[in-house]
Amino acid sequence: MNILHIAWKGIKSDFRDRRTLFFMLAFPILLILVLGTALSNTFTSSLPVDDLHVLYKDTTQEGSFQQFRAGAEASGIHFKKAADNMDGKKEVKQDTYDGYIEVSDKGVQLYINNGNSINANILQGMLTAYVDKFNIAFEIRKTAPDKLEEAFTSGTQANFIKETSLNPEKKPGSLDYYAIAITTMIVLYGAMSASSLIVGERVRKTADRLIAAPVRKSEIFIGKVLGSLISNGLCVILVILFSKLFFKANWGNHLGLVFLVLLSEVVLAVSIGIGLSFLAKTSGAPQVIIMLFVQLSSFFGGAYFKIENPEGIFKLITDLSPLTWMNTAITKIIYANDFAAAIPAIGINLIGSFLLLLVAIISLQRREGL
């Protein structure tokens, strides 16, 4: 019962502290909203393209280019016939049109506006396809003139290549990504409050009263750790539910497994705080070390910006960040239904937690007080 009383006291103290509530609840929610909104363009795979405006001059007697023009206009390319006294190259240079096409018996010439490379590449690609088809028709006319019309008719075409994407829509958007990344980051910040669980009693001069009370040191230690785990776990649940309900963040269909992975990180964070509080020689050193560790882990773990395909020494550094294996595991669970991805993350977190708690327990046994 002593353990439960101590744990309950710790939970009430955490939720009465406005600074703790703001940092563990309001701050991550605000950060998800700001980063998810501001950096939304970096998570889009499509690029909007405005309609193209093309000036053309056709001096041929055949209607092949007119067929090409009719088909291209259906794709958002608008053609305008150049007047006899109009300089098409000058119009393109002045950015009036995206391109200028001259069609004559000698061939096809294209002049493009390099100011917009995307529009220029689209126009060049479509015109190249038309020229290739025209060349084929020219060869057909030399050998079988009666088949010429078929080269320019839009009969039924067979799709010899079929492109299929596996789960094309199952990829995180900006809010989805930062809901995961910021949650795992804020869990790691829980080490700061955990570092003061025992040190705080020494600073407040209440450690001697606890030792004098009919309570074993093991009960005090377990009660404080348990209370911190529950407080941080509840904050994680609230952040997940808020981001899911209000930001529509995708946490997948296996929320229980995702929370289990996050819970293992909570255990690791609390263990880091407890372990450093016993290893450090001064009361303020643990929080300085934890702040530096969490900031570096967040930076190299992709909490502030997405890191894709790191190489060399940079990859080694990112792999050392707890956020890297946490974000990777949760993303695979949500978007690939890869349940096995949870095993390495949970295993590393629990092994690290065991070693740090072991250090704290040994140090506590060697002390006369807390």
* Domain limits, CATH 3.40.190.10, in the chain: 52-152
* Number of residues assigned to the chain: 370
Q: Of the CATH numbers 3.40.190.10, 3.30.70.20, 3.20.20.70, 1.10.10.10, which one belongs to the domain with range 52-152?
A: 3.40.190.10
Which residues lie below 8 Å from residue 361, measured CB to CB, with a gap of 6+? 221
From 39, 10, 23, 34, select the one nearest 307 (Cα to Cα): 39
- With a cut of 50, which residues of the chain have pLDDT below it? 154, 156, 160, 165-168
Residue-wise pLDDT for 234-256, tens only, equals 999 999 999 999 999 999 999 99
pLDDT in tens, 104-114: 777 777 877 76
- Strand 52-58 relative to strand 99-104: parallel, antiparallel, unpaired? parallel
Provide the pLDDT for residue 198.
82
State the pLDDT at residue 166.
46
Cα separation, 334 vs 111, in Å, equals 48
DSSP assignment string, 179-200: HHHHHHHHHHTHHHHHTHHHHH
User: Does residue 187 contact residue 160 with C-beta atoms inside 8 Å?
Assistant: no
pLDDT of residue 48: 60
Residue 282: its pLDDT value, please?
83
First and final C-alpha spacing in the chain: 20
- Using alpha carbons only, give the angle 271, 272, 274 rounded to the nearest 5 degrees: 60
Q: What is the DSSP string of 217-248?
A: HHHHHHHHHHHHHHHHHHHHHHHHHHHHHHS-
pLDDT in tens, 169-226: 567 888 999 999 999 999 999 999 898 888 877 777 777 777 777 788 888 889 999 9
